[in-house]
Amino acid sequence: MTFKTTILTLFPEMFPGPLGWSLAGKALEQGLWSLEVRDIRASAKDRHRSVDDHPAGGGPGMVLKPDVLAAAIDACPGVGPRLLMSPRGEALTQRLVRELAAEPGLLIVCGRFEGVDERVIEKRQLREVSLGDFVLSGGEPAAMALLDAVIRLLPGVMGRPESGMEESFEDGMLEHPHYTKPNVWEGAEIPAVLLSGDHKAIARWKREQREMLTKARRPDLWGARESGKI
């Protein structure tokens, strides 16, 4: 079954962008997912095709108009959750990525300017999602990152499905270090245990490395694991 994706944006020419390459691009060619990009401006009714206006109550920037954006959303097929890429949204985690990958598709709204009229978010039940504690110039790069994370988990996209199971965040920890030939490079050797053929010892080493890295680099993740939240 094809995972159907619809993007609402003021810059449709930005897509598919990176999604047209590598795993996502090959999966798009194979029909494992589909991409429809719609221009929000096409739903504007005035002769200037206006999509934004000054924020109520004053302040800098412009806000996407509720009537225009709602019309654009209503014209889209109803497949899967409606997302709004927003810096104030819930954090995009691997758990959320897996949840979205289990859906039949997604509608992703890419915000611009100062933001989106709150009434559209409420009345069209947009789920706000954020890549992290920073602000982008628009939702398009965030939408591409979200889709890249989701698409690679779709059935048939990765050659070996188990490749997605031993990665950072799958069980609340960071991934262990990786090595490959040559065995000695610039005086640094591959850890001997990885060349030992002892699968139990290798598994133990990987686990120890993951725990060490997570404690050192992401104490928030380690704390969540310890408290049972992950």
pLDDT in tens, 189-213: 999 999 999 999 999 999 999 999 9
Residue 46 has what pLDDT? 86
Residue 162 has what pLDDT? 59
CATH number of 3-151: 3.40.1280.10
Which pTM does this prediction carry? 0.88
Cα distances (angstroms) measured from residue 129 to each of 92, 111, 171, 200, 216: 6, 11, 21, 39, 27
What phi-psi label fits residue 107: left (phi over 0), alpha (psi between -120 and 50 degrees) or beta? beta
Domain boundaries, the chain: 3-151, 168-226
Mean predicted lDDT score pLDDT of the chain: 94
Would you say domain 168-226 falls under CATH 3.40.50.300? no
Report the side by side order of strands in the sheet with 3-9.
33-39, 3-9, 105-110, 82-91, 127-130
CA distance 107 to 94: 19
Residue 171 has what pLDDT? 83
CA distance 106 to 80: 5
Percent of the chain topping pLDDT 90: 85
Give the residue-averaged pLDDT of 41-51. Answer: 92
Residue 26 has what pLDDT? 97
pLDDT in tens, 65-122: 999 999 999 999 888 999 999 999 999 999 999 999 999 999 999 998 889 999 999 9
